[in-house]
């Protein structure tokens, strides 16, 4: 696997990312859902085996944040070896943004200082104000 520097950080991020948009959710029978979640977990483990260290999710991807958080303790790597990013929807206020970020962090249990939040462009101004006020 090839790695590149992540933005202005010293983190090394794999050139391939595991995108969680297709982690199953929605109307399925319990058996179908369990089978689909098991397949998604196995795909995540395989990504790790080939060197992927970046896992990308979003609030809008169903329950992918929750499932990734639930799977973290069962993966063959330490949490600090992973870079998990998530996206939040555009917000109207700093308080709403903080709530979305807190909910995302709670869902992906164990996210620490290496967690990154991706925000759509209309939210950038609010993000700057939140960062300055925190």
- CA–CA–CA angle 74, 44, 47 (5° rounding): 120
CA–CA separation, 17 and 53 (whole Å): 7
61 labelled catalytic: yes
CA–CA separation, 42 and 120 (whole Å): 30
CA–CA separation, 14 and 38 (whole Å): 24
8 Å CB contact between 69 and 109: yes
Which 3 state secondary structure label does DSSP give 71? helix
Of the residues 44, 47, 52, 61, only one is catalytic, namely 61
Give the active site residues. 61
């Amino acid at each position: 696997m090839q790695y590149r520097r992540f933005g202005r950080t010293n983190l090394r991020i794999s050139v391939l990312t595991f995108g969680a948009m297709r982690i199953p959710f929605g109307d399925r029978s319990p058996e179908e859902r369990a089978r689909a979640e098991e397949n998604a977990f196995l795909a995540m483990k395989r990504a790790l085996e080939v060197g992927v260290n970046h896992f990308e999710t979003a609030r809008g991807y169903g329950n992918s944040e929750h499932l990734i958080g639930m799977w973290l303790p069962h993966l063959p790597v330490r949490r600090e070896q992973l870079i998990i990013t998530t996206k939040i929807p555009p917000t109207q206020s700093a308080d709403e943004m903080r709530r979305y970020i807190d909910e995302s962090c709670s869902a992906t249990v164990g996210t620490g200082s290496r967690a990154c939040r991706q925000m759509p462009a209309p939210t950038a101004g609010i993000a700057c104000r939140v960062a300055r006020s925190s």
